[in-house]
Structure 1
């Protein structure tokens, strides 16, 4: 698996131009590229194999034609879970943040061929560690912490509401270098919630996050389904979330989520809205990795940062 080409553009919406080497900046993207910024699509990647599909349709396309920053060879990019860590060369570390994209306006390539591979097979990533890369550099998949995301929603499970909180959690975890390997939606049902959690605990998934069912309505039972599975409660996690998000909205004090350890898994209940999970993960991001390190025996001294 390797880098075939690197491309940048000064403006968005333009075909990118290949360059010999590039400097990646942590938390931003590629120096000099218009798509760099403090967001989740800092760097785009597309496989050479995908570009060849379009060439076979008779299109005159090359590296950068699909506005990808990094063209790869020998890796099925669109099969990578969100949060997969990719090491490029000696120093650069990327975390996959999005698979594919929705095209609101059809590009010139689509109008020529009636198809475009970037929306289906291109991916995007955060830059977790910067450095210099060049064509020919080796790409490695790096082992990291795993996560599973459970959305608890009657309407969501019936397809009557689009779940935005679950996917948002996956993207936010990716920014911390945590790979989401499982995700699903269940109704507000005690047995359904427990069955999924038990399976993930048995699979030794490092971090399990639920979203939804933490309020005080009659159907909100996520904490009740979670508590019997927890070996050690960690009340400080939810105390920190309620304290800090309570400064944004006093309604945060009505959430009843719990957190704790079950065997080798850390379980955290979060509220059901995209806004709430965003604010909550911002709070726990300060200590989440250290907590996982401690749980799995990678850190022994909790008194130091």
Structure 2
């Protein structure tokens, strides 16, 4: 599977959205250089208060641009960086990846997929009613569907820019489905 990066975003302070950049630099074991969520231990603002020593499995947030197309059809205008993601992609089934999949981005960077982003109620502060579109209960299976992107850790750092390629390397079988991290 080969896709591409459509936008990169980072922010040195906690805010819901992240401004787009010309490039970001991924740092092995840390995340996006200069981003508030970079670090070896959890940097999620709420979870830091009660689990500050957990390893940071949320170093990089990736979002599929196809979600924005889907949301636009429902009347929600969302652009890259708007939901706080660091890397926006097109042509990659991010939500269908198994845990441990490797994302080779551009010439150098390698990310390991750790799990799904658990969307929070702040999404409704960004756009009222949006939470229901990125977090839903399947009426048949009773399972929750999380569409707000995936999280990853940086195995090998390097620069990432819009139009960089994204190549997927699947882990050995059996594959483990993504869960919230």
Q: How does 1:127-138 map to 2 (within 5 A)?
A: 127-138=154-165
Tell me how far 1:107 sits from its aligned partner.
Answer: 3.3
Counterpart in the other structure of 2:6: 4
Aligned-pair CA distance for 1:59: 2.2
With normalisation by structure 1, the TM-score equals 0.46
The one-character-per-residue Cα deviations of 1:191-222 (angstroms, maximum 9, x if unpaired) are: xxxxxxxxxxxxxxxxxxxxxxxxxxxxxxxx
Change (3 A) 1:26 1:53: same
Among 21, 24, 38, the alignment partner of 1:22 is: 24
Contact 1:78 1:100 in 2 (8 A): no
Contact kept in structure 2, 1:17 and 1:64, CA below 8 Å: yes
Residue 58 of structure 1 deviates from its aligned partner by 1.8
Identify if the C-alpha distance between structure 1 residues 26 and 122 changes in structure 2 by more than 3 Å, giving closer, same or farther.
Answer: same
Q: Identify if the C-alpha distance between structure 1 residues 114 and 101 changes in structure 2 by more than 3 Å, giving closer, same or farther.
A: closer
Structure with greater strand percent: 2
C-alpha displacement of 1:80: 0.3
Determine if contact 1:8/1:19 at 8 Å carries over to the other structure: yes
**2:85 is equivalent to residue 68 of structure 1:** yes
Q: Is the 8 A contact 1:51 1:117 kept in 2?
A: no
Structure having the higher Rg? 1
Q: Which has the higher helix share?
A: 1
* Partner residue in 1 for 2:99: 82
Root-mean-square deviation (CA, aligned residues, Å) is 2.1
Taking structure 2 as the reference length, the TM-score comes to 0.75
Return the match for 1:50 from 62, 67, 86.
Answer: 67
The structure-2 alpha-carbon separation of the partners of 1:123 and 1:143, relative to structure 1 and needing over 3 Å to count, comes to closer
Secondary structure at 1:45 match in 2: strand
After the TM superposition, which of the residue ranges 109-118 and 49-58 deviates more from structure 2?
Answer: 109-118
- Rounded to whole Å, the distance in 2 between the matches of 1:99 and 1:123 is 4
Matches of 1:84 and 1:114 in 2, distance apart?
27
- 1:234-245 to 2 correspondences below 5 Å: none
Q: Which aligned pairs between 1:141-290 and structure 2 lie closer than 5 A?
A: 141-144=168-171, 146=172, 148=174, 181-182=175-176
| Residues paired across the two proteins, number | 150
Question: Secondary structure in 1 aligned to 2:24?
Answer: strand
**CA distance change for structure 1 residues 114 and 89 in 2, over 3 Å: closer, same or farther?**
closer
User: How far apart in 1 are the matches of 2:95 and 2:176?
Assistant: 16
Contact 1:77-1:121 within 8 A present in 2 as well: no
**Structure 2 unaligned blocks of 5 or more:** 41-55, 136-145
* Structure 1 segments unaligned to the other structure (5+ residues): 149-180, 184-305
